[in-house]
């Protein structure tokens, strides 16, 4: 377990020393909340709107989605750091280190996941002051969903980054995927409002189940049963973690 713990410590320390990463991952969701959430909350003030959002006002509905959005955007940064490590030689050092490769890559993923959840917590605190209808007893379960979500996308980002050497290429792929993940995950509106053919994509989107589980924890409103959210999200996170380990095991020093 030495490699696992060491990589967690390394990733957290690296994050603490990177203030710009912290600031930007927090500022971006806050901008969405201010310019998107506050604006649309005024649009959805008519009584029938609460029926659309499961009896919630729009800002309360949006809260869990903004936490998930912050976690997703932060999680993908893990992949970018792998490319930096390739350029500066640290990746080669971990490949030849006397530690299990599985421990190293999972420690890296888990360390970055902890960071992502911490950033999600900051967004959740911000949302609490905007809407006081958040159940404080549900904060810990919501962050647990967030941790599983973070492991899913951190591992996914690692899989992509281990196959690439271009920072620009990685960013293009992530930018291409981010918007569908967010808009088809029930963050901004219920997935029931989507056309039937798009719902198929939403149902295989990990964000859907993370947001639904967070929303149930914080507001007691959800589309799926909590056990369904946990099972599907955990299964997807486990699959991505296994793929990350396999990708790292197949990486050579020449890469």
> Is the pTM value of this prediction over 0.85?
yes
At residue 233, the pLDDT reads 95
The chain-wide mean pLDDT, for the chain, equals 86
d(CA 33, CA 137): 23
pLDDT bucket at 202, cuts 50 / 70 / 90:
very high
Domain range for 181 is 2-249
Q: Is residue 254 domain-resident?
A: no
d(CA 230, CA 144): 10
At residue 164, the pLDDT reads 80
Q: Is residue 224 domain-resident?
A: yes
Q: Is residue 191 domain-resident?
A: yes
Q: Which two tokens stand for residue 185?
A: 């995950």
At residue 232, the pLDDT reads 95
d(CA 53, CA 43): 13
At residue 237, the pLDDT reads 94
Percent of the chain with pLDDT over 90: 36
At residue 150, the pLDDT reads 95
Q: Is the pLDDT confidence value at 113 over 90?
A: yes
Q: Is the pLDDT confidence value at 217 over 70?
A: yes
Q: Is residue 131 domain-resident?
A: yes
At residue 208, the pLDDT reads 95
At residue 213, the pLDDT reads 95
Of residues 117, 135, 113, the one with CA closest to residue 216: 135
Q: Is residue 145 domain-resident?
A: yes
pLDDT, tens digit, 9 for 90 and up, residues 176-201: 888 889 999 999 989 988 888 889 99
pLDDT bucket at 51, cuts 50 / 70 / 90:
confident
Q: Is residue 19 domain-resident?
A: yes
Structurally, the chain folds into a number of domains equal to 1
Task: Please indicate whether residue 233 or residue 92 has the higher confidence score (pLDDT).
Answer: 233
Q: What is the DSSP string of the chain?
A: -HHHHHHHHHHHHHHHT-HHHHHHHHHHHHHHIIIIIHHHHHHT-STTHHHHTTT--HHHHHHHHHHHHHHHHHHHHHHHHHHHHHHHTHHHHHHSSSS-HHHHHHHHHHHHHHHHHHHHHHHHHHHHHH-TT--GGGHHHHHHHHHHHHHHHHHHHHHHHHH---HHHHHHHHHHHHHHHHHTTTSSS-GGGS-HHHHHHHHT-HHHHHHHHHHHHHHS--SS-HHHHHHHHHHHHHHHHHHHHHHHHT--TT-
pLDDT bucket at 154, cuts 50 / 70 / 90:
very high
Q: Is residue 255 domain-resident?
A: no
What φ, ψ does residue 14 adopt, rounded to 5°?
Answer: -65, -40
At residue 255, the pLDDT reads 54
Q: Which two tokens stand for residue 184?
A: 């088809």
Q: Is residue 142 domain-resident?
A: yes
């Amino acid at each position: 377990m030495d490699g696992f713990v060491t990589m967690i410590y390394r990733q957290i320390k690296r994050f603490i020393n990177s203030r710009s990463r912290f600031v930007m991952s927090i500022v971006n969701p806050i901008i969405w909340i201010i310019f998107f959430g506050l604006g649309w909350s005024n649009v959805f003030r008519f009584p029938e709107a609460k029926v659309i959002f499961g009896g919630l006002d729009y800002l309360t509905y949006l809260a869990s989605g903004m936490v998930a959005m912050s976690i997703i955007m932060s999680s993908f940064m893990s992949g970018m750091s792998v490319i930096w490590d390739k350029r500066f030689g640290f990746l080669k050092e971990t490949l030849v280190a006397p530690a299990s490769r599985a421990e190293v890559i999972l420690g890296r993923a888990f360390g970055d996941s902890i960071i992502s959840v911490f950033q999600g917590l900051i967004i959740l605190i911000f949302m609490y002051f905007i809407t006081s209808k958040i159940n404080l007893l549900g904060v810990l379960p919501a962050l647990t969903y967030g941790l599983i979500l973070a492991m899913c996308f951190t591992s996914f980002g690692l899989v992509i980054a281990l196959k690439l050497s271009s920072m620009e290429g990685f960013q293009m792929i992530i930018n291409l995927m981010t918007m569908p993940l967010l808009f088809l995950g029930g963050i901004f509106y219920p997935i029931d409002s989507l056309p039937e053919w798009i719902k198929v994509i939403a149902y295989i989107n990990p964000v859907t189940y993370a947001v639904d589980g967070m929303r149930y924890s914080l507001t007691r409103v959800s589309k799926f049963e909590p056990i369904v959210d946990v099972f599907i999200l955990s299964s997807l996170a486990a699959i991505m973690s296994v793929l990350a380990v396999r990708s790292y095991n197949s990486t050579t020093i020449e890469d």
